[in-house]
């Protein structure tokens, strides 16, 4: 059995490889942490209030959502809601539809993002959770605080199926509103490299490519080894901008699996 780490920005995913499958060991949950006073989702159908009592934070349930009628706990809406949020089934692992390879924000939960990649000829996605932070579509990293507007305000709006709008915080990401079983939700798309989203369509933008401090120039999106250091690698985004990243301690970047694996140089 081989253990590998897939390193993406500030988050490390530990995955377990078998002969027939690869699965994520950790599962993102919709429950919040009771560390500040206010409404919290104890689970997908239970709305609670978090309060400091006797020096300890306690969850006090006060409402139960009717999930059979499409109501789920939504902290942003202050209780049970039919609007898609972190606890809604539309936000569960494997539901996100990848339109292309790369990193995409989670439209329903600022604490997570999606990584889309090709595996055995199929486009698949994994949902990755930030550690006590929020995902920034501007930097493609978990670089925002949980009190940022991306967590406090809805980042999308769908009035009817077919609506198309740019995604806040980035100039090459957009969404189309789709109707799934009577529920309107955004489906994310990214413009081609060196294109930006303007006035409802992708148009050609700057053709400049950027390089990391090490001088690496991206030719295509994806992960690339650092020829001078086996413990480091370059991530190239859809704009062909690069980031110089470090594998976890005790691992090296493996070109064959395009991931960090246990070993030494």
For the question of whether the overall pTM of this predicted structure is more than 0.75, the answer is no
Q: Would you call 89 helix, strand, or coil by DSSP?
A: helix
**Token pair recorded at residue 126:** 């994994």
- The per-residue pLDDT for 167 is 96
- The per-residue pLDDT for 244 is 80
Mean of per-residue pLDDT scores for the chain:
78
Closest CA to 87 of 71, 98, 103: 71
- Round to whole Å and give the CA distance between 237 and 104: 11
Residue 198 reports pLDDT greater than 80: yes
Q: What is the mean pLDDT of residues 8-36?
A: 42
DSSP state of 217: B
- Round to whole Å and give the CA distance between 15 and 87: 24
Give residue for tokens 């709305």. Answer: 47
Q: How many helices (H) and strands (E) does the chain have?
A: 1, 23
Closest CA to 140 of 130, 132, 148, 149: 130
- β-sheet bridge partners, residue 129: 112
Instruction: Dump pLDDT digits (tens) for 67-91.
Output: 888 888 988 788 898 877 778 777 7
């Amino acid at each position: 059995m081989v253990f590998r780490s897939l390193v993406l920005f500030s988050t490390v995913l530990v995955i377990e490889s078998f002969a027939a499958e690869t699965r994520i060991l950790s599962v993102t949950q919709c429950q919040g942490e009771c560390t500040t006073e206010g409404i919290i989702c104890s689970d997908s159908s239970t709305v609670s209030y978090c309060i400091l009592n006797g020096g300890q934070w306690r969850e006090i349930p006060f409402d139960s959502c009717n999930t059979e009628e499409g109501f789920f706990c939504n902290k942003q809406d202050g209780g049970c809601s039919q609007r898609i949020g972190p606890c809604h089934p539309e936000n569960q692992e494997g539901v996100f539809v990848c339109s292309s390879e790369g990193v995409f924000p989670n439209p329903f939960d600022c604490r997570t993002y999606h990584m889309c990649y090709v595996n055995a000829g199929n486009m698949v996605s994994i949902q990755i959770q930030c550690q006590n932070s929020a995902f920034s579509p501007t930097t493609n990293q978990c670089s925002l605080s949980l009190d940022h507007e991306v967590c406090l305000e809805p980042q999308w709006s769908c009035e009817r199926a077919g609506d198309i709008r740019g995604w806040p915080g980035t100039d090459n990401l957009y969404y189309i509103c789709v109707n799934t079983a009577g529920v309107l939700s955004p489906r994310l798309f990214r413009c081609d490299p060196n294109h930006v989203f303007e006035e409802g369509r992708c148009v050609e933008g700057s053709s400049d490519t950027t390089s990391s401090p090490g001088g690496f120039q991206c030719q295509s999106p994806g992960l690339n080894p650092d020829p001078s250091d086996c413990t480091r690698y370059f991530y190239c985004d859809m704009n062909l901008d690069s980031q110089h990243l470090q594998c976890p301690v005790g691992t090296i970047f493996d070109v064959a699996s395009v991931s960090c694996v246990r070993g030494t140089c």
